Amino acid sequence: MTIIGSNRFGLSEAESSANFEVFLPEFDGDQILDQDEEWCEVLVDGQRTRIRFHDYHRIYDIPGMYERLFYEMLECVSPRTVCDLLATALAEHAMKAEDLRVLDVGAGNGMVGEEIRTLGVDTVHGVDILEEAAAATRRDRPDVYDDYLVADLTDLTLEQRDVLVRAKFNTMTTVAALGFGDIPPEAFVGAFNLIETPGLLAFTIKDDFLRDDDPSGFSLLIRRMFAEKTIVAQAEKHYRHRLSVHGKPLEYIAFVVRKTGDVPTAWIR
């Protein structure tokens, strides 16, 4: 499958004029790639290069590639799905979007933040470990976030922590970023504990990471958070996150939960 850059996502002039083609792999026989092994090839200015999907810094560097690959070719719906679920939870529990102060964790190039804004949320900050993600947001969606912090949530400096604490967030979002090492449990908990109590958490996770044999640590962590009532369910949805490179559905679960307390750091040791 090949796709040529176009301007279907309201991108900047520089981005929409980018000349690139994306090629998904074609497989013979029964070869199956795991989700964190998936790759594509991209042709830019006559040079064809293979890029692993989870090498986000390389994808962000090519204007428009992230949108073309994941949202057009592979039909990703996670940002819209989790924000629609958040809107449903707000309506059902008589909460107002304009009262939310959102920290978008693993903000990437701002596609989730853009969806959050459509709900009527006035305050949205992004945080990501990649400088390339922040640069892509400045390039493509400069007005989405009130502030964007490049930081490792497992190793915040005193200045970075102070910036996040002073923002007094009461809501956290993280979409399609848990379980593959991009945001480990320690980073997830570090961000969660920065959210005020009571607060809201809206997140998505692959259903594999909630099974008994999950090696990532998220299954035990999230189950304990529910069991100890650190989080209380407000809304939940099973859905197809996107297609794999083989054209198969990748199944995820979206949650909106109410935060009732912090997570003890001992839970993730």
Q: What is the mean pLDDT of residues 198-220?
A: 94
Is 48 a residue whose pLDDT tops 50?
yes
Is 181 a residue whose pLDDT tops 90?
no
**Confidence (pLDDT) at 52:** 97
**Confidence (pLDDT) at 12:** 47
**Confidence (pLDDT) at 2:** 30
Give the integer Cα–Cα distance in Å for 49 and 38.
14
Q: Which backbone phi and psi does 220 adopt, to 5 degrees?
A: -65, -40
Is 148 a residue whose pLDDT tops 80?
yes
Question: pLDDT of 127-147, one tens digit each?
Answer: 999 999 999 999 999 999 999
- Could you tell me which of 110, 12, 15 has the C-alpha nearest to residue 62? 15
Q: What is the mean pLDDT of residues 18-30?
A: 85
Is 15 a residue whose pLDDT tops 70?
no
Residue 223 to residues 103, 202, 214: CA-CA distances in angstroms? 23, 16, 12
Torsion angle of the four alpha carbons 165, 143, 255, 98, in this order, in degrees rounded to the nearest 10: 70
Is 19 a residue whose pLDDT tops 60?
yes
Give the integer Cα–Cα distance in Å for 3 and 16.
13
Half-sphere exposure of 3 (CA within 13 A, CB side): 17
Q: What is the mean pLDDT of residues 167-171?
A: 98
Is 13 a residue whose pLDDT tops 90?
no
pLDDT-derived band of residue 9, with 50, 70 and 90 as boundaries?
very low
**Cα 25 from chain centroid (whole Å):** 24
Residue 239 to residues 85, 108, 196: CA-CA distances in angstroms? 11, 21, 29
Q: What is the mean pLDDT of residues 72-84?
A: 98
pLDDT-derived band of residue 16, with 50, 70 and 90 as boundaries?
very low
| Domain with residues 78-268, CATH architecture | 3-Layer(aba) Sandwich (3.40)
| Stated pTM of the model | 0.91
Residue 80 · residue 114 · CB < 8 Å: no
pLDDT-derived band of residue 180, with 50, 70 and 90 as boundaries?
confident
The domain segmentation of the chain, as residue ranges, is 2-73, 78-268
**Confidence (pLDDT) at 69:** 97
Residue 164 · residue 134 · CB < 8 Å: no
Q: What is the mean pLDDT of residues 238-256?
A: 97
Other beta carbons less than 10 A from residue 7's beta carbon: 13
213 vs 75, residue with greater confidence: 75
